[in-house]
Structure 1
Amino acid sequence: MKVVVFGATGGTGRAVIKMALAAGHNVTAFARRADRIAPADGLNVVEGDAMDKSDVVRTLNGQDAVVISLGNSQNAFALMFGAGRTTPKDICEIGTRNILEGLPKGRNIPIVVVGAFGTGDTAPNLPFMFKLFYRLILREQMADKEKQDQILKGSTASYTLVQPLALTDKPGTGTWNVSHDGIYGKTEVPRDDLSQFILETLEEGDHSGKTVTFSG
């Protein structure tokens, strides 16, 4: 399967690429800085900007599946205290719109989107401490994820929106909790487990515009 990963230099994007290559898939890593991705067998690196629709369109051609793990990994506290911005504040909103609009016509390409728990349908399930942290520190990032959620719901794309709880870089466990009603297990979950779930979701082919909560 030919898989393109948007947001390839983030923690989740890197984990998905590693797992997809290990499974024998052909992977295209889309990133603004190609030099930040180490070369590997089966990996094609495309330098481009998700905010530029023409960059997105040329990358989508010939792909069998899409993973959208866009986000702003810049330190939120640094931004609050005036650090220079390295990522547009609406990268998820605009990037996702460009990807959906750039999909080749006449093909039903499965898409898995990594969103954020506590946006859209799961907003009522957000724990109080998470809600406080989001409002005080991650307000801008969560607003962008909320817009991404709305864009997906307004589309006819074959997508699955995965809303993970707090992601860690701990080794994968091979077990996780998935729900369709916002119920979650442990609040921490390894990125390796999320990546495995993403690949299984792409391979299974059920992408009927559903939102799933992913937790440990």
Structure 2
Amino acid sequence: MKVVVFGATGKAGRTIALNLLAAGHDVTAFARDPAHFSARTYPGLRLLQGDALNAADVAAAVAGQDAVVVSLGDSTNPVVLKFGARFGVKRSTVPNICELGTQNIISAMQAASVKRLICISSYGVGDTRDQLSTVYRLWFQALQLAEQLADKEQQERLVKQSGLDWTLVQPVGLTDGAATGRWLASTTGGRRKRTVSRVDLADFVAQILSSGQYGGETVVLSQLTISERDFVPQTA
């Protein structure tokens, strides 16, 4: 399958792109600075420089694809975003990159008749907004994540209204941990542990891309607890 991954040099996007490549897909990694990848290190990976805020760049990337994975976001530490300006720290992108970039992607997909869209969002947004525990709410407040979550809210709204074959994936806290192959994929907002590895997220994306599961659904992804370690991928 021909797949383009937007936000491919972020931690999650990069892991997803390389995982799809390893699974045998024809992968295009779209990013403003694709220099993080090496064609010699990852043979077969197509690197495409472009800006998600540029409609022409996005349209060129989407044309001819079978599916699109969106993993946009601002990788800058949120505390730095809040206090860094006084020290000359500049943000790496606009505050509503998810909303604006996803709007361009959806428009390009509609124009090119590309239907399958998998969008990486965040737990605590949209369908799961009211399911955040007190601990999560305090954690988000402490990290000053209101701006990022508001951007994700608008992104999810656009995806749901797109008319595409979409799936919104809401991982809980992402880590650099190893693949476990053990997770709960819940369409009812349920979760287990408060973290899940980016590799498990990438594996999940590859699975639903191949299977076509979860069309028109929001899926919360979390790692199973130790007591459930003998059970592999579950749904709820």
What TM-score, normalized by structure 2, do the two folds share?
0.88
Answer yes or no: is 1:178 the counterpart of 2:189.
Answer: no
Identity of aligned residues (%): 43
Whole-angstrom CA distance in 2 between matches of 1:104 and 1:23: 27
Whole-angstrom CA distance in 2 between matches of 1:92 and 1:175: 29
Partner residue in 1 for 2:62? 60
Q: Using a 3 Å threshold, how does the CA distance of structure 1 residues 108 and 161 change in structure 2: closer, same or farther?
A: same
Whole-angstrom CA distance in 2 between matches of 1:132 and 1:113: 26
Q: Helix, strand or coil: the match of 2:5?
A: strand
Answer yes or no: is 1:103 the counterpart of 2:95.
Answer: no
Whole-angstrom CA distance in 1 between matches of 2:43 and 2:206: 18
Q: Helix, strand or coil: the match of 1:201?
A: helix
Q: Deviations over 1:68-123 (max 9, x none)?
A: 00011101111111221111111100111110011154735311100011011101
Partner residue in 2 for 1:140? 147
Q: Helix, strand or coil: the match of 1:215?
A: strand
**Structure exhibiting the larger radius of gyration computed from Cα positions:** 2
Structure 1 runs of 4+ with >4 Å offset: none
Aligned length, in residue pairs: 216
Q: Helix, strand or coil: the match of 1:186?
A: coil
Deviation at 1:168, TM superposition (A): 0.5
Give the alignment's Cα RMSD to 1 decimal. Answer: 1.3
Q: How does 1:186-205 map to 2 (within 5 A)?
A: 186-205=193-212
Instruction: Name the stretch that deviates more: 102-111 or 44-53.
Output: 102-111
Whole-angstrom CA distance in 1 between matches of 2:214 and 2:128: 19
Gaps of 5+ in 2: 224-236
Whole-angstrom CA distance in 2 between matches of 1:30 and 1:41: 16
What letter corresponds to residue 114 of structure 1 in structure 2? I
Deviation at 1:24, TM superposition (A): 1.3
Partner residue in 2 for 1:69? 71
Q: Using a 3 Å threshold, how does the CA distance of structure 1 residues 76 and 27 change in structure 2: closer, same or farther?
A: same
Deviation at 1:38, TM superposition (A): 2.1
What TM-score, normalized by structure 1, do the two folds share?
0.96
